[in-house]
Amino acid sequence: MVLPLSAVDSHRGQWPIAAALALLMLGELVLMNGPGSAEALVWLLSVPPCIAAVTSFKSRAFTIPVTVASVFVSSFVIRLFHVNLPTLLSPLTVAETAACLVLTAVIVREEPRRAATWSVGSLMAVSFFAAIVRDNWLSSSNYNEMLGSLVLGFMAVGTGLYFRARDTESGRLIAAAVTDAQKEERIALARELHDVVAHYVTAIVVQAQAALEVSDDDPRAAHRLLPGIVRSGTEALGAMRRLVGTLRQGENDDAATTDLAADVISTVERTRELGFETRLRIDLPDEVPPELGRSVLRLVQESLTNVHKHAQGPTMIDVEIARTPAGALRVIVADDGRPGELNQGGYGLVGMRERVDLLGGLFSAGPRENGWQVLAELPLEGKK
């Protein structure tokens, strides 16, 4: 008789096992036909192995000693009082056999190899001792029972090894999934860090360069640029603090997209302060999902940063955010400058494309008839 550790895992498997063992013990009690005191004692001594088998799903500290001691004592009682209890393919009672099989499978599955080897060896030793004391196997020719015991033992060990291998494979898959998730998160954070640093630091550098150019001829003009540099530095620090807060607390930085229109206007104003003529057209729906709003803002910021860094001689920048008839949000950032070398690639364009792809949108960036254009269409409701 084999009680497999079926699809129930860990703690959930103990209750079906407990019910099965209780039924086996009840069946033994019925088959005793009015047991005497010795039979009742042996029957009671089969309770500890059953309890040990059930508790082994949670704790295995004392299960083997309790089982070994119980089988040891009950074997002497059976030999002294010539108790006759029903057995099946084993010198132990049916309940004891089932309990030992469950214990073997659980220990092989859960315990380290050395501990499992010692535990299973102890169960085999006490079973062999019971076979000698109870049935006198050394002088008998009960080959069927010997063979049955070996088969049951191998089946219990095989069951434990199967679930052990399955648990190992599941652990491997979980570890791989966690590693992939961590990698994706690192890439997302790197992209976010690039967007934040590149946008604000570029603004600081452009303003500092402008101040340096005019400082000799017009010191007052250079002085007027200093508040913009201070403001850009302060905003960069604030953005970095929010990003660090996200890393520490695992919270989303939704503050950047609470009011998308205001954030975009603020970004465009900073571009104007750098001396770039910028036109802005916004037509937003009443509600924009936070993840969509954040991506739209980052697309605008990164596109304007690329204009600041790479466009040569732009006279006008057009920023347009509008709804399309197909239920998407279209973002266009175009300039009339000559494209620089890095406009052909770089982490900025890669990050923008990844953002759009994650939201199921369309993205394109490249030269147009007069200048450079970034275009993205993001679905307002899920991926399309």
For residue 333, the model assigns a pLDDT of 93
For residue 321, the model assigns a pLDDT of 92
The answer to the question of residue 347 being in a domain is: yes
Residues 38 and 132 in one domain: yes
Q: What is the mean pLDDT of each run of 10 residues along the chain (384 residues)?
A: 41 73 77 65 82 83 87 83 73 83 89 89 86 68 69 85 88 81 70 68 76 72 72 71 58 54 88 86 84 86 85 88 89 84 57 81 87 90 56
For residue 184, the model assigns a pLDDT of 73
Last residue of a domain, one of 126, 160, 176: 176
For residue 332, the model assigns a pLDDT of 94
Number of domains, the chain = 2
For residue 340, what are the domain limits?
259-384
Residues 171 and 283 in one domain: no
Last residue of a domain, one of 176, 208, 231: 176
Last residue of a domain, one of 176, 202, 219: 176
Smallest CA-to-CA distance from 57 within 109, 98, 21 is with 109
Smallest CA-to-CA distance from 282 within 256, 320, 331 is with 320
Residues 266 and 172 in one domain: no
The answer to the question of residue 3 being in a domain is: no
Residues 270 and 373 in one domain: yes
The answer to the question of residue 238 being in a domain is: no
For residue 345, the model assigns a pLDDT of 45
Residues 31 and 153 in one domain: yes
The radius of gyration of the chain's CA atoms, rounded to the nearest angstrom, is: 38
For residue 185, the model assigns a pLDDT of 64
For residue 306, the model assigns a pLDDT of 85
Residues 24 and 123 in one domain: yes
> Is pTM beyond 0.75 here?
no
The answer to the question of residue 195 being in a domain is: no
For residue 276, the model assigns a pLDDT of 85
Residues in the chain, total: 384
Q: What residue type is 247 in one-letter code?
A: L
CATH of the domain at 299: 3.30.565.10
User: What is the end-to-end Cα distance of the chain in Å, rounded?
Assistant: 56
The answer to the question of residue 345 being in a domain is: yes
The answer to the question of residue 295 being in a domain is: yes
The answer to whether residues 31 and 53 touch, using CB atoms and an 8 Å cutoff, is no
The answer to the question of residue 154 being in a domain is: yes
Residues 155 and 40 in one domain: yes
The answer to the question of residue 214 being in a domain is: no
